Copies of this chain bind each other. A is one copy, B any other.
Amino acid sequence: MADQQHSYKLIYFNSRGRAEHIRYIFAFAGIDYVDERVPKERWPELKKCMPYGMLPVLEIDGKAIAQSNAVARYLARQHGLAGLDEWESMQCDVLVDTLGDLKQGISQYRHEEDPFKKEEKKAKLWKETIPFYLNKFEQNVAENGGYSVGTTTTWTDFLFAVALENFEQIFGSAALENYPALRGLKQRVHEIPAIAEWLGKRPQTEF
């Protein structure tokens, strides 16, 4: 474990979800932290104490910070995971928010209650939205030789690795068949020794 000046407690549910890329950053940087996984029955009470009533929250030296990507960006900048310069940091941010747009679309489909609209949304996602974004991402990663930004590992790679894993889980393992560069990115991240070690020991959860 690296020497560290700060204490960290990551508070989330017992799931990968919006916290897993933060856990990857901690693993990669060799940072010790408390990986607190809140049981569902404790959440209604705890929710009232969280800055905006949502998780994940990272406690840094006891101060509770909300918003997974704000937290991840902060940690990434401190540990060489935000690109080589401000231009690359911006490229990371562009991809993070664009992936966020795609995830938002998928989430709206998953939460749609009307069965007719749900089918409609699924068809549009599957035929238009997902291929549109994945083709863009694929081309970008292929051009960068396997990296989402530049020529170094960034927190955006971690976010993609986590998202692609979820994506295969929701839509089946063939879902990335036509996206060899994205599969390659995920594999490269999973083979980083510190990440591989984390994958081997992390709690197994559905999402």
Contact = CB atoms under 8 A, between A and B. Distances in A.
A69 B44 CA distance: 32
Interface in A53-101: 53-54, 65-67, 69-71, 73-74, 77-78, 86-87, 89-90, 93-94, 96-98, 101
Contacts of A77: 86
Nearest to A70: B93
Interface residues of A, number: 28
A48 to B, nearest CB: 11
Given A66-B98, A98-B66, A98-B67, A52 B136 contact: yes
B93 A52 contact: no
Nearest to A114: B114
A92 B153 CA distance: 25
Contacts of A207: none
Q: How many copies does the complex hold?
A: 2
A133 interface: yes
- Which 7 pairs between the two chains have the least Cβ-Cβ distance? A70-B93, A74-B90, A67-B97, A70-B94, A67-B94, A70-B90, A52-B98
28 contacts: A51-B94, A51-B136, A52-B98, A52-B133, A52-B136, A65-B90, A65-B94, A66-B94, A66-B98, A67-B93, A67-B94, A67-B97, A69-B93, A69-B97, A70-B90, A70-B93, A70-B94, A70-B96, A70-B97, A71-B90, A73-B90, A73-B93, A74-B87, A74-B89, A74-B90, A74-B93, A77-B86, A104-B104
Interface of A: 51-54, 65-67, 69-71, 73-74, 77-78, 86-87, 89-90, 93-94, 96-98, 101, 104, 132-133, 136
